Amino acid sequence: MTSLVVWGEPYPVIQINGQKIIGPCQNWEKFGRKPNQSLEIFISKIPHHLTEFELMPVFASIGPIWKFRLMMNFSGQNRGFAYLQYIHEENYDKAFEALNGKTFLFPPKYRVNMTMSRNICTLVLGGIDTRFDHKLVEKNIQSLVCVKEIDILYNNRSQPIFFIKFYNHRDTALSRRTLLQYLPAFGNKAWVRWGPH
């Protein structure tokens, strides 16, 4: 693990599962309590050659950062998007006002788009082959991914729809990737979608 110092504050940096995770700020206690984990900004249109060294000072100029996750590809460049969490909730509005669609990092000048991230913790699995026992499908899901709970509802054709709940958004996203790989095991019409917010 390496460290990045931004505006005098040290942040640990690790790279895992295709993302660079910067934070939490090592001295976060001096800023108060832990932040609301359900709040997160999705940042898009990041130029691919920029790194955390250029980006972190810009976002930290608004206020202390809890965590910055920069999505990376195999070449070592960023994938053009990231997720950002501030320690203080009031900094979200300030960041949108100061940075969303505005020019920064000069020269040259860049603009990024910012939206509030949807912190979804549910996946919906449907289109299961009717020959499969529903309890067996539920056990198969649990053998593939770590779930919080599974609810089974039935549509008007008595086909099961599985609402799979997870502990956090990160687990949900990683589990979606796994389930997409194993979809053929549930029948050739099986599908998986993001659940309700």
pLDDT tens across 169-181, in order?
Answer: 878 888 998 999 9
Quick one: pLDDT at residue 68? 96
- C-alpha 170/C-alpha 111 separation (Å) is 27
CATH code linked to domain 122-194? 3.30.70.330
Distance of CA 147 to the CA centre of its chain: 17
The answer as to CATH 3.40.50.300 being correct for domain 2-116 is no
pLDDT under 70: residue ranges of the chain: 105-108, 197
Quick one: pLDDT at residue 181? 92
Quick one: pLDDT at residue 108? 67
Per DSSP, helices labelled H in the chain are: 52-60, 90-99, 134-144, 169-182
Q: What is the pTM of this model?
A: 0.64
Q: Where in the chain is the domain with CATH 3.30.70.330?
A: 2-116, 122-194
Cis status, amide bond into 107, omega within 30 of 0: yes
DSSP state of 140: H
Quick one: pLDDT at residue 25? 83
Residue 29, SS3? Answer: helix
Name the percent of the chain lying above pLDDT 90: 53
